[in-house]
Amino acid sequence: MESPFGIGQSANRFMRRIQSGMHAKVRTLGENVAKDIGPHGGFILNTLAEGEPMPVQELVRIMARDKSQMTRKIKDLEAKSLIVRTQCPTDGRVSLLSLSDEGRDIQKKLQRALTSVIEEILSPLSEEEQSQLAQLLQKI
């Protein structure tokens, strides 16, 4: 389990645990909205929170997803009034995305939930090991 291959397997299971942990947790939040935006919806809100307003293109880059997926998901979130779209004043092709107040509210709840899910998964690691892991992952 020390080959690159093993790393892939472990990382896969790690992500799976985050995913199903969040799925379970979000249901307890009692937020219909949170449940209805899907994992990607939450990911988008969290990403926007790190730097808004953000062009669609940058969101695509950061999330490493296809732009056509983004278009659809953004439309969903916009229809649910969680994000707001404005035209870029200097480039007519560019849409800038921001969180609405409601979107920001949900984003905070989701981020707290996600943090606690990940904390739980990381609990077998010491503080030092956790920051080691963070650094290694960030490096790649």
Q: How far apart are the first and last CA of the chain?
A: 20
Contact 86, 98 (CB under 8 A): yes
Cβ-based nearer residue to a copy of itself, 84 or 121: 121
Q: Which two tokens stand for residue 123?
A: 């609990």
Site of interaction with a copy of itself (CB under 8 A): 1-18, 20, 43, 46, 63-65, 111, 114-115, 118-119, 121-122, 124-125, 129-140
Residue 9 engages DNA in binding (rule: CB under 7 A): no
Smallest distance from DNA to CB 119, Å: 19
Q: Which residue is associated with the tokens 């020390």? A: 2
Q: How far is the CB of 102 from a copy of itself (least distance, A)?
A: 21
Query: Residue 74 touches which of DNA, a copy of itself, none (CB < 5 to 8 A by kind)?
Result: DNA
CB of 128 to DNA, least distance (A): 31
Taking CB within 5 to 8 Å according to partner kind, which of a copy of itself, DNA, none is near residue 91? DNA
Backbone angles phi, psi at 40, to 5 degrees: -65, -35
Whose Cβ is closer to DNA: residue 72's or residue 129's? 72
Q: Using DSSP, state whether 87 is helix, strand or coil.
A: strand
Burial 77-112 (b: 16+ CB within 10 A, else e): bbebebbbeeeeeeeeeebbbebeeebbbbbebbee
Residues near DNA (CB under 7 A): 16, 19-20, 23, 27, 36, 38-41, 55-57, 60, 65-75, 88, 90-95
